[in-house]
Structure formats: C-alpha cells, structure tokens
Amino acid sequence: MVPALLVIAAILLAGSPFVVDAAPYEASMGIVSKIFYFHVPFAAAMLTSTFVSGIASAIYLIRRKPVADFVALAAAELVTVFGVVVLVSGPLWARKAWGVWWVWDPRLTMTLVMWMIFAAYLILRRFGGPGSEVLSAVVSIFGMAVAPFVYWSVNMWRTMHPQTSVVPTLPSSMAEPLWWCMAAIFSLYAALLLVRVGIERNRAALEAAYIALED
Amino acid sequence: MIGVFRAAWIIARKDLVVEARSRELAYTTLFFALSCVLVFSFALVHGAESPGADRATDAAFHSQLAAGILWVSIAFSGTLALGRTFERERQSETLRALLLAPVEHAAVYLGKLVTLLVLMFGVDLVVLPVVGFLFDAPLGAAPGLLLGVIAAGTLGFAAVGTLFAAMLVRAHSRDVLLPILLYPIAIPVILAGVRGTAAIFAAEPDLGSAFLWFSMLVFFDLVFVTLALWTFGPAMGE
Amino acid sequence: MLLLIAQGQTAMTPSTTPEAVPGGTLLLVAYAVAWTVVLFYVFTLWRKSKRIQDDLADVTSKLNARAGKR
C-alpha cells in the first residue's frame, strides 16, 4: 500500500511543475499566482489532517485502541509540517500582491490557529509525561471543533469591516492544474500518514519487547 | 577560591548543557511566548477602517484598546486562577478522591467550573470599572449587554480552561502547558469578546453588532461546555 | 466542502503597490521552502524508523537468545 502511494505521489509531483507551467497566467498577479497551485492543496491537506486527528482522537478516547492514537499523532504532525508550508507560501504571495506579509483573513487566521493548537498537541505529547496520550486526544478533539468557529468569527469580523485586500479565488480555467496538484499532494499526505503510523506501531512493539526483556 | 565570574560561567554552562539535551524549557517557553503574541494579536489588532476617517479611526482605536486590554487581563488572570485552583487539589490528592466518590464525573467538572466562574466574575466586576476609568470607556452605554458579553466570554474561557487544568493536574510542566494548550483554543472566544466589547465602547455604540457577538459567544459556550462534559469523564480515566 | 471554503470569497482586484522583489523570486523561494520542509520531515521519519528497527532487531535477538537457552 505504502510503496504504491509513494510511487503515485512521486509521479504526480514530478509532473506538477510542467502542469503548473502550462497553466495560463493570472492576469493581475503574474507568475506569483502560481504559488496557489501548491498553497491551496497543502492547505486543504492540512485542514483534512486536523479532522483526521480529531476523529482518531475521539475514537481513541472512547475505545482506547492504540492504533487510533497513532493515527491522531501522525495526523497532528502532518498538520504542523504541512502548516509550515501553507504559512510560508501564503505570506510570500501576499507580499507580492499587497505589500504586506500578513492579513487577518479567515483562512490564513484559521490556519495559524490550527497550527498553534496542533503544535501544542505535539508539545504536550513530548513534555507532558505519562498519560499524555489521553490528554492530547482531548486537545485534538477541541482543535477540530474550534476550526469552523475561528473561521466563522474572523469572517464575521471581516464582513463588518470590509477590507481592500481580499484573498481571491482561482478562476475555473485553472481548475485542471489545481486538481493535478491536489491529487499529488493528497497522495503524498496519505503516504506520509501511513509511514508515520507504521513507525509508531514499531515503537510500541519495541517498548513491549523491552518490557518482555526485563522479565 | 574560584572567582565570581568563573563560577557563574560554570553554573550557566552546566544549565545550558542540560537544557540542550531535552530542549524542554526552550520549546515550552517559546510556545508560551507565541501563544501570548496570538492572544495579543486578536485582542489588539486593528481592522483597517475606511481611509480618510482619521478622527473616527482614533476614537475607534481607543475603544478597541480598552476592550483588548480588558480581555487580555481576563485571559491571563483566569489562567493563573485555573492553575492555583487545581494546584490545591494536587497537593492534597483530593482530585483523585473526588473522582472516586460515587458521583458522576460531570458533577466534579461542573463543581469546579462554578467555583472558577464565581472567582472570575468577581475579578471581571472589579477590572471593568478600572478599565472604564483608565480608558474613559462608556460603561453605561449598554450595561446589560456589556455584562452579558463579558459573562458569556468568561464562561467560554473557563469551560475549556477547567477541563484542561483538571487534565493537566498530574502532568509534567503543567504550569506552562496550560496556557500553551488553552490560548489557541480560546481564540474565537477572545475575538468575539473583544469585538463585542469594542462595539459597545465605541464612540457611537454599535449595539446590533454587539448583540451578534454576544449570540456567537453564547453558542460557543454551549458547544464548549457540552464537549467538555463529554470528554471530562474519559479524560480523567473512567 | 474544502473548495467551497476556498471559493467562499468573491474575487476582487487587490489594490497593489508594486513590490521591489520580483514575483519569480518569491515563487522560487516558496517552492524551495515547501520542498525543503517536506524532505526534511521525510528525512526525520527515515532516521526515526531506522533507529527503532535497529533497536527492535537488537532486543528481539536478545529475547530469542534467552528463549533458546531455556
């Protein structure tokens, strides 16, 4: 399963520069708008990962199945890793488009808050001591629940104070390269998730082996 | 006899080497700072008003500043209160005793929440006039709605905070972990609270918006308290 | 649903002040950062995996040796 996913991801990713290059220029912004072709998929994958982590955490909290905890942890790591890409590529685009590094628009803000929540999840796992698996599951569930609230509240705030700079949409003529990149990045995401879960499984096996050795 | 500076340097180097291995202080302190920046940004960031309305912008900024500072104090003092409340439990191991008692765990959560709310509402009632005095904020503009916004926001913050503080009672680094975990999740509450309060404090109070923010806060409260009640039991180990 | 969120805001012409930094450079930096971050993460995964596999092999052989002796 994993090797197949990796091959698919590799092929799609290798093809993406050509696909993106062939896409028409966006009129007002020129070449910088091509950042969207991977900024959007990475953001979509990151948001998906917050839900994967939250749902896995809920399952872990109710059923205490170790694999659910592994998935929650792996997904949380991917939220932060993919989040870095989103939070760097977004401002780089914004700098060109509006001359500022950051705007408090709902999507970027939600991304930032989600990143902070799941980075906090990882910090809790690492430094919280024994029992952190259960505690972090609660954090993950709340993180997932809060995502729409952050979007909603920032959106309401923005509509009350209309801004001159608004994050634009991609015209539909550019949909095909976007779908290609979406497929590429989502298969990368799935591959990384499975690999990471496998590592956690091995780590659990290792701990069990250590305990068996001490008997 | 080693000189003062040499001894100091040896001690510092020892600490830094220990820290370099685990990096625990580095990461947790850094993330606490980032969480604070996040809270301050939401409390104090100024949405760009339409250009050319400079005097209105000044007044708007002023009212917004008062609202932001009010909510930052609520958040920070609330965090301290949460930590101290559960520190007492930890020292006497009474939390475990409570959880062993033949009552539903939800009762433990609610009891703790009520205590914290009484404490935080008391603080709110003192801090509010102080902020009003220092920033010349019109407390009398819409006192009912103002109290409603503050109460609803405080409840939302306390609901999540009580859950997390209880969870962290036996964790390492719990003092710094509480704000790191709590602040990002409390962001919508803080944002709505600041916006609602600022709308009331504005030179021309925007009560319609304030009521919208108040309704949003009530909705957040319902969701947060419900989620906390669901997860408290499993989290505390039933 | 994700695309609905992505398209939730109407397209507007942003008011721009042209930036001194050329767009191409920014694009390149963004690509470089994305690739670097992902590859670095893959590298850390590989390193962690290798360490765990080695330890697991080590402990398993010790367990087998002990079982063999009994």
Angle, CA of A191, A195 and A201, to the nearest 5°: 145
Mean pLDDT of A62-83: 95
Report the 10 Å Cβ neighbour count for B133: 10
Asked whether residue A89 is domain-assigned, the answer is yes
Q: Assign residue A38 a region: left if phi > 0, alpha if psi is -120 to 50, beta otherwise?
A: alpha
CA separation for the pair B222, B228 (Å, rounded)? 10
Q: What percent of chain A has pLDDT over 90?
A: 44
Residue to test with chain C: of A29, A51, A89, most C Cβ within 10 A:
A89
Asked if the Cβ–Cβ distance from A210 to C59 is below 8 Å, we say yes
Does residue A200 have a pLDDT over 70?
yes
Strands (E), B102-209: none
Label residue A74 by pLDDT band (50, 70, 90): very high
Q: Compute the half-sphere exposure of residue B170: CA atoms within 13 Å on the CB side of its CA.
A: 13
Q: What is the pLDDT of residues B115-132, one digit of tens each?
A: 999 999 999 999 999 998
For residue B112, give the nearest of B165, B74, B149, B177 by alpha carbon: B165
Radius of gyration of chain B (CA): 21
pLDDT of res. C68? 77
Mean pLDDT of B194-214: 88
Q: Compute the half-sphere exposure of residue C38: CA atoms within 13 Å on the CB side of its CA.
A: 20
Does residue A165 have a pLDDT over 60?
no
Mean pLDDT of A125-138: 91
Give the CA distances from residue C43 to residues A113, A206, C14, C39, in Å, rounded to whole numbers and listed in that order: 27, 21, 39, 6
Q: Which two tokens stand for residue A113?
A: 């808050």
**CATH number, position A154:** 1.20.1440
pLDDT of res. B165? 94
pLDDT of res. B82? 93
Asked whether residue A123 is domain-assigned, the answer is yes
Label residue B205 by pLDDT band (50, 70, 90): confident
Q: Which two tokens stand for residue C34?
A: 């994305």
Asked whether residue A209 is domain-assigned, the answer is no
Q: Which two tokens stand for residue B103?
A: 């009552």
Q: Where are the domains of chain C?
A: 38-70
Q: What is the pLDDT of residues B26-49, one digit of tens each?
A: 999 999 999 999 999 888 876 544
Q: Is residue A128 classed exposed, middle or buried when 0-12, 13-18 and 19+ CB atoms within 10 A define those classes?
A: buried
Report the 10 Å Cβ neighbour count for B7: 11
CA separation for the pair B189, B143 (Å, rounded)? 20
Q: What is the pLDDT of residues B77-89, one digit of tens each?
A: 999 999 988 888 8
Label residue B157 by pLDDT band (50, 70, 90): very high
A47 close to C (CB below 8 A): yes
Q: Which domain holds residue A123?
A: 35-161
* Bridge partner list, A26: A30
Residues 131-190 of B with CB under 8 A from A: 160, 163-164, 167-168, 170-173, 177, 180-181, 183-185, 187-188
CA separation for the pair A107, A36 (Å, rounded)? 13
- The three-class DSSP label of residue A26 is strand
Residue type, A101: W
Counted domains in chain A: 1
Q: Which of A39, A44, A206 sits opposite C56 (nearest CB)?
A: A206
Does residue C27 have a pLDDT over 80?
no
CA separation for the pair B186, B178 (Å, rounded)? 12
Which pTM was predicted?
Answer: 0.87
pLDDT of res. A98? 73
Label residue A169 by pLDDT band (50, 70, 90): low
